[in-house]
Structure 1
Amino acid sequence: MSYRRKKLLALFCATALSMTAVAGCTGTKSSTGNVVSSETETNAEETSAQSEAGTFSSADMFTERDLAGTYEESGAVYVTLSDDGITGETDGVVIDGQTVTITAEGTYIFSGTLSEGQIVVDADNAKVQIVFDNVDITCASSAAVYVKSAEKVFVTLAEGSQNTLRNTDEYVAIDDNNIDAVIFAKSDLTLCVQRSWTTLAGVSPV
C-alpha cells in the first residue's frame, strides 16, 4: 500500500474512531449529534476528475472486507476476559496474567471485563480480526489494544453489543514505540461496527 493510501486510511480510521456513538457501517453519530456517512457516491465525471486530481475514491482505499463489517463465527477463537483469569482457546493466543497476545492469523471474539489489562497483536504478515462482543477494558498507562505487528487488523463490534476501552492515566513506555492511544496500531487498521455502541477514550491510530 502506498504512503498516500496509508495516510488516507489513517484519516478514515481517525474519523471513525473519534465517534462515541456508532450506528451501522454506513454512518456514524458523533457526541455532538452530527451524522457522518462513510458512503461515497460519485458519477463517472467525478471519478475521472478525482483521478486527474490525484485523489482516490473509497474503492481505491478500501477492500470489500474493509467495508463489509462482518465476521465468520465458524473457526473463530473465543476469549473471555475477567479479572479472575482470562480463558479461551489456545490456538494463536498467549495469555500472560491480564494480557492477551494474538500471535496468528484468524478471527478472535472477545467478551468480558478487564479492570487493568491489554490485548496485543504480535503476528507478522497476518490478517487479524478482533471482534468485541460486550467488552470493557481499562489499561491505565498504555493502549487497551496494541497492534505491535501484523499485515492488517480489523476491529469489529458485534451487533447489539456495548463496548468500552479506556486509558485513565499518563502513557508509560513499554517498548520502543511511543504508545499514546487507547487503540495503537503499527499496521493498517480498519474499524467497522454492526449497529453497536462503543466508547473509545483517547484514540489516535498511527
Structure 2
Amino acid sequence: MEIPLDDYVRGAAVATALVCTSPTVREPEGDALPDAEALAAFLERHRLRLDAVPERRPPSAADLFEVHLLRREVRGVMETATAEEAVAGAAVLAARAAREPVLRRDGKGRWQWYVTTSAGAPLAAELAAFLAIGLFGVVRRLGHRRFRACAAPGCRGVFADTSRAGERRYCMPDRCGNRLKVANHRRRQRLGGGVR
C-alpha cells in the first residue's frame, strides 16, 4: 500500500470512524464491527485497498480481532495529554508496517511523498500505518488540540477534528449532533408547552 503524506485528512477521518465503531461509543446498539463481513464493509465504505486483503479475499476472524485491538490503540492516541505523546503513540502504530518515505510522481506528474507498507504486512498493521500517517498529519498541520472528546452528553466518543474552522463538536455529527438537537427540541416543547 502507498500512503500519500499530504492526505492526512482521510487517514484521520478513518481513524475517527474506526474508533466510533466501538461498543463503548455505540451504546446501546453495540459493536459496529461484530464480524469479518462488517470489517470488509468498513474497508469498502472508506475505499481502503489494503495489500493484505486482495480482491475476493475477505478479512478473517483473526484480522477482525487485531483491528479491534487497533481500535483501542487509536483511541488512546486521540486521548493523549500532549502532542509528544500523540506522536509517540502514532509512531508505534506506523512502525508495524510503514517503511521509509519515498518521493515519486503522482498521476498528474507532480512529485509527492509516500509511505509504503511492508510486503506481506497483516491487515491490521497496514491499517495502523495508514491511520498513523493521518494522526501525524493532524498534529503537524492542525495541532494536538484537534483531538477531542464528543460534546454530546453521555457519548464516550473521541475524534480528530480536521474541519477548516476547527469547531467540530461531535464524534458522529449525524448521530450525536442530531440526537442533541432532538433532545433540545423536546425540552423546549416541554418547557413551552409546545405552543408558539
What TM-score do you get using the length of structure 1 for normalisation?
0.25
The structure whose Rg is larger is 2
Higher helix share: 2
Higher strand share: 1
What TM-score do you get using the length of structure 2 for normalisation?
0.26
